[in-house]
Chains A and B, each alone.
Chain A
Amino acid sequence: MEGKFIIIIAVALFFIALVQLMKIYDLAAKVRGAKSQEKMTRGENMLMANLMLVFMVVFFGFIIWLIAKYGANAGLYKAASEHGQELDDLLMINWYIILPVFFITNSLLFIFSWKYYHREERKALYYPHNNKLELIWTVLPAIALAIIIVFGIRTWNGIMYNKEEGQVIEVYAYQFGWLVRYAGADNELGEANYKLVSSTNPLGVITDQSIQDTYNEIDTKVSGIDSELKENRNSNGDLLMPKSKADKKLDELERLKRRKYRIEAAIDKREANKTAYASSDDDIVVQELHLVKGQPYTFIFRSKDVIHCPWLPHFRAQINSVPGMETSFKLTPTITTEEMRNMPEVQEHYKNINEIHNERKRRIGEEEEKVLFDYVLLCNKICGAGHSNMQIKVVVETQEEFENWIENNGDKKRLTFSGQEVNWSETKEQASL
């Protein structure tokens, strides 16, 4: 409240100051004698013209400085996936076409504005059109764009129509984190349905057990509401709670019953459940994404609540994950985390990052730490308060390292969901119920 008051006063003061300033300015103008504000003097025109040149130099210098400092991939280095390399090459082709156009047209603009500034004795050239010229600068961009379009669509089709399946991995997005599900030995993900999502079954994987669990959960809630309503009735059967509250309860009751009915009708296959949903038996849910170098992967993305966008900057890969729909992309990692850490430019860069990072840590009184290069999967679609910290670590390693990790990291890796912590071994069990 005080704050708002101070603001109001500040705004008022600002306007008073503005009016005072106007008055002073007014007096000064009177003393100087009114000058025309319409005609530009020769000196002014010349000054502005020269500033055009100065600006051009500074402007180009700034860009060149930025390019020199950050390069094309400002700290992302070499792409770490097969298609990523193609994308980077395509990007470079584009830059080689675009940058000259950018520099040439901008310099023509500024140089002409400088060279042809107004002088009384000059007269402009009456030059309303020239069809040949106009044709040239319709056709030239068209040719350049044709090149860009052809290269672009070819690369796009190559990436999107890739038929190779490889290993299947599901990445499940929720506010604000990710879960990863490996398909296991059969390389087939068990079916999932959002109606079965619960704290013990975060992905809604369909199993006989998870169906029964959901029924139990619904039944418990239903009887809870039933008994609450019963307690709140008098002997005539009238409800004692406010109507709006009662309506809410009744609505909730309906909703739960509907949900159960839908599961019974569409998901539950009774005795056949065990065989129908068997492919989830060997699925494993984890919270870190480990990939094997050289292994092709097909990623399947789902979302629990809002649109998210898994973004793997080092692999040049991203696609939205949308509730109600599955999206996917394919990727083959080509550089292990270890190899990346050992690259000279990465080491150089991380020396710098460590300095900056720990200088900040010192400044805000947090403990210093050594940061190493790591791949990361982060969220690139606005999804709420935690958007800017929705990440998981990605590790690329050899086949043995991967197998070792998935077998033995038992007690270290934990799955947290809805605040509940589940032990890795339990998770594994639960995911293969």
Chain B
Amino acid sequence: MAHDHHHHKESFITKYIFSQDHKMIGKQYLLTAIFMGAIGITLSALFRMKLGWPDTQFSILESILGSDAAPDGMLDSNWYLGLVTLHGTIMVFFVLTGGLSGTFSNLLIPLQVGARDMASGLLNMIAYWLFFISSVLMAASLFIETGPAMAGWTVYPPLSVLEEFQPGSGLGMTLWLLSMTVFIASSLLGGINYIVTILNLRTKGMSMTRLPLTIWAFFITAILGVLSFPVLLSAAVLLLMDRGFGTSFYMSDIVTSSGALDATGGSPILYEHLFWFLGHPEVYIILLPALGMTSEIISTCSRKPIFGYRAMIGSMLAIGFLSFIVWGHHMFLTGMNPFLGGVFTFTTLLIAIPSAVKAFNYITTIWKGNVMLTPAMLFCIGSVSTFISGGVTGIILADSALDISQHDTYFVVGHFHIVMGMTAILGMFAGIYHWFPKMYGKSMNKRMGMVHFWITIVTGYGVFLPMHFLGEGGLPRRYYENTNFPMFDHFLDLNIMISIFATIGVLAQVIFFFNFFYSIFRGPKASLNPWNANTLEWTTPIEHVHGNWIGEIPTVHRWPYDYSKPGKEQDFVPQTVPLDDNEEEH
């Protein structure tokens, strides 16, 4: 491998724009994700205004969204659904799939396995630009007159097929499908690259059982993505054909205002199966990278080996495998054979076992540690907490019988925001605070990080815990207003409280944006190994070089979790330090 990459000068374009360097690509993903995230959470703050104050006219809504979407400052009901749909889509796919995996898989895989770059820099660059294009398409759909896709982030047909059913199913939905098609192409290219790099480009001594848990998590995530995204692609292609070419894969026996449609023989349930065959693994595509990073950070900051390294790998593998045979739990009430309901209940509840193992292992890692409560560590603790809190309510939703009275209520919204939304977002923040020095060679301000954490966790729980009670009261999700039913009137004040928490939570992210951008330009210079960590990325120079290491790639002699090992002077032993005579590995 040529090490002399860093010798020749690069132009601005090849260095910052069409870069094939994994570190730069990782940063590009991060910036795009931050931008999309800002849109996504702003949308949630906007539609929460309608839910919190159903009768108030907010002229700001009209000025932001235009008078089609919010005439006289009252959000239009179609647009409400449009905002919810885009919020969900952006958060799930663009921030927590493309953004999270894209940023950290790219940054950390080569650095932590000891490779000069990704297996294919070119594919990697193409993957990023496809991601960028799909982000632009998705964001652009907010600006069309008839509004963005409005059928929910799951875009079930027939609602998503005919413009007659809702205006967003016209051009907005077309853009949604185009954007997602490009997005899927991007994530497949990315995923293949990650897998190949991890399998083939590990440095000498870096056996699979010496890989940091981050890498294991990215590895399993990439496999899940490569196996499940193609299924979403086929679902999307069939949907495109139903919309544009008169096929009826998903349509049958439908009457519109102009009479009965020709379509017969198709079924919307087919779409649901295809969608959720991706949709459930997707949840773990979002979660696993966050769980991997928190494993790494918790161990480093507790100055203690991760407890049960092999059990952590085993449970991630088990979760990854099981995630493919549980998708039916989203479909208990579609009228499918009750026997299948029982099967999916069983497989779904099995996932709770490896998840519980992970949670207990985290807690045991902190036990008797010497815990550095850095901002990254704070976010990790928050992430473990939300993983537990959201995980336990999942047990209720996994139960087909109980789902009869919980399905699609706000209980579900509370559940998935805590277990998936918050766990992954907090994990992502943890990753950003922890690896910022590696990305930009600067440190972020720790005080602002602490404030950011506390406001985020408090408002996060403040928003999503009460939602469980709305759901127990029977309130359906995707309701534009809750005022049509006197039976929900007693939730008026709770809805206001949620909206206030949501607004504060969204505004608090400004602290993060400020800290992030300020530190890129003006942050104090980082030291080589700021957290005294063992992994390889901290042996690379602070100033990024092509090829990552100036000389030879270091050889690895031990697992990455030798913290506070007895008989060692320092409380950490980098992976590059050879084992002493008759030292046990672990």
B252 touches A145 (CB 8 A): no
- The answer, among B466, B487, B513, for a CB contact under 8 Å with A66, is B466
B256 / chain A contacts, CB cutoff of 8 Å: 305
Say whether, besides A51-B454, A149-B346, A324-B268, A127 and B305 are in contact (CB < 8 Å). Answer: yes
B79 to chain A, nearest CB (A): 9
A328 / chain B contacts, CB cutoff of 8 Å: 335
A304 touches B472 (CB 8 A): no
B262 touches A258 (CB 8 A): yes
- The answer for the CA separation of A138 and B350 in the assembled complex, in Å, is 11
Per-residue contact bits, chain B 430-471, to A (CB 8 Å; 1 contact, 0 not):
000000010000011110001000100110011001100110
A380 touches B388 (CB 8 A): no
B478 touches A382 (CB 8 A): yes
- The answer for the CA separation of A66 and B369 in the assembled complex, in Å, is 34
A26 touches B522 (CB 8 A): yes
- The answer, among B64, B335, B409, B487, for a CB contact under 8 Å with A319, is B335
B159 touches A384 (CB 8 A): yes
A135 to chain B, nearest CB (A): 10
B551 CB within 8 Å of chain A: no
- The answer for the CA separation of A188 and B16 in the assembled complex, in Å, is 71
- From B24-32, B222-230, B351-359, the one touching the partner chain is B351-359
- The answer for the CA separation of A3 and B399 in the assembled complex, in Å, is 48
Chain A contact surface mostly? helix
A29 to chain B, nearest CB (A): 8
Say whether, besides A102-B392, A116-B367, A122-B370, A307 and B478 are in contact (CB < 8 Å). Answer: no
B389 CB within 8 Å of chain A: yes
- From B128-136, B194-202, B524-532, the one touching the partner chain is B524-532
A317 touches B404 (CB 8 A): yes
Say whether, besides A66-B466, A116-B368, A117-B371, A322 and B335 are in contact (CB < 8 Å). Answer: yes
- The answer for the CA separation of A91 and B471 in the assembled complex, in Å, is 13
- The answer, among B305, B476, B490, B514, for a CB contact under 8 Å with A380, is B476
A7 touches B254 (CB 8 A): no
Q: Which residue of A lies closest to B374 (CB)?
A: A40
- The answer, among A55, A102, A311, for a CB contact under 8 Å with B389, is A102
- From B212-220, B231-239, B562-570, the one touching the partner chain is B562-570
- The answer for the CA separation of A133 and B457 in the assembled complex, in Å, is 30
A26 / chain B contacts, CB cutoff of 8 Å: 522
- The answer for the CA separation of A410 and B517 in the assembled complex, in Å, is 70
- The answer, among B77, B363, B405, B565, for a CB contact under 8 Å with A126, is B565
B363 touches A306 (CB 8 A): no
- The answer for the CA separation of A195 and B254 in the assembled complex, in Å, is 9
- The answer, among B360, B476, B531, for a CB contact under 8 Å with A38, is B531
Say whether, besides A127-B307, A145-B353, A3 and B64 are in contact (CB < 8 Å). Answer: yes
A349 touches B490 (CB 8 A): yes
- The answer, among B156, B254, B311, B443, for a CB contact under 8 Å with A194, is B254
Per-residue contact bits, chain B 480-515, to A (CB 8 Å; 1 contact, 0 not):
111111111111110000000000000000000110
- The answer for the CA separation of A266 and B484 in the assembled complex, in Å, is 42
- The answer, among B254, B388, B409, B444, for a CB contact under 8 Å with A105, is B388
Say whether, besides A74-B470, A128-B561, A138-B357, A3 and B66 are in contact (CB < 8 Å). Answer: yes
Within 8 A of A (CB), among B359-409: 359-364, 366-374, 378, 381, 384-385, 388-389, 392-393, 395-396, 399-402, 404-405, 407-409
A57 CB within 8 Å of chain B: no
Q: Which residue of A lies closest to B67 (CB)?
A: A3
B401 / chain A contacts, CB cutoff of 8 Å: 87, 90, 152-153, 155-156, 159
B360 / chain A contacts, CB cutoff of 8 Å: 105, 137
A185 CB within 8 Å of chain B: no
B304 touches A126 (CB 8 A): yes
A37 CB within 8 Å of chain B: yes
Most A Cβ at <10 Å: residue of B450, B480, B485: B485
A28 to chain B, nearest CB (A): 12
Given contacts A128-B305, A149-B349, 6 further A-B contacts (CB under 8 A): A75-B473, A105-B360, A109-B362, A109-B388, A134-B357, A197-B255
20 contacts between A and B (CB under 8 A): A45-B371, A59-B461, A62-B461, A73-B472, A75-B473, A75-B487, A76-B474, A91-B402, A105-B363, A112-B367, A113-B381, A118-B303, A128-B308, A129-B307, A152-B400, A304-B254, A323-B253, A380-B409, A384-B159, A388-B77
**Which B residues fall within an 8 A CB radius of A?**
55, 62-64, 66-67, 77-78, 81, 150-152, 156, 158-159, 165-166, 251-257, 259-260, 262, 264, 266-269, 302-311, 333-335, 338, 341-342, 345-346, 349-350, 352-353, 356-357, 359-364, 366-374, 378, 381, 384-385, 388-389, 392-393, 395-396, 399-402, 404-405, 407-409, 437, 443-446, 450, 454, 457-458, 461-462, 465-466, 469-470, 472-474, 476, 478-493, 513-514, 517-518, 521-524, 526-527, 530-531, 561, 563-566, 571, 586
What 9 A-B pairs have minimum CB-CB distances, sorted nearest first?
A: A324-B252, A313-B474, A74-B473, A160-B338, A327-B335, A48-B373, A3-B63, A37-B443, A388-B479
